[in-house]
Amino acid sequence: DAKTTQPPSMDCAEGRAANLPCNHSTISGNEYVYWYRQIHSQGPQYIIHGLKNNETNEMASLIITEDRKSSTLILPHATLRDTAVYYCIVRVTSNSNSGYALNFGKGTSLLVTP
Partner 1 sequence: DSGVTQTPKHLITATGQRVTLRCSPRSGDLSVYWYQQSLDQGLQFLIQYYNGEERAKGNILERFSAQQFPDLHSELNLSSLELGDSALYFCASSHRDRGEAFFGQGTRLTVV
> Of the candidates 32, 72, 109, 111, which one interacts with partner 1 according to CB under 8 A?
32
Residue ranges in 38-77 that form contacts with partner 1 under rule CB under 8 A: 38, 41-46, 49
Toward partner 1, which CB reaches closer, 48 or 112?
48
> How far apart are alpha carbons 51 and 72 in whole angstroms?
13
> How far apart are alpha carbons 19 and 77 in whole angstroms?
10
Toward partner 1, which CB reaches closer, 29 or 114?
29
Half-sphere CA count of 50, side-chain side, radius 13 A: 21
Pick the piece of the chain touching partner 1 (CB under 8 A) from 2-10, 21-29, 70-78, 98-106.
98-106
> How far apart are alpha carbons 45 and 43 in whole angstroms?
6
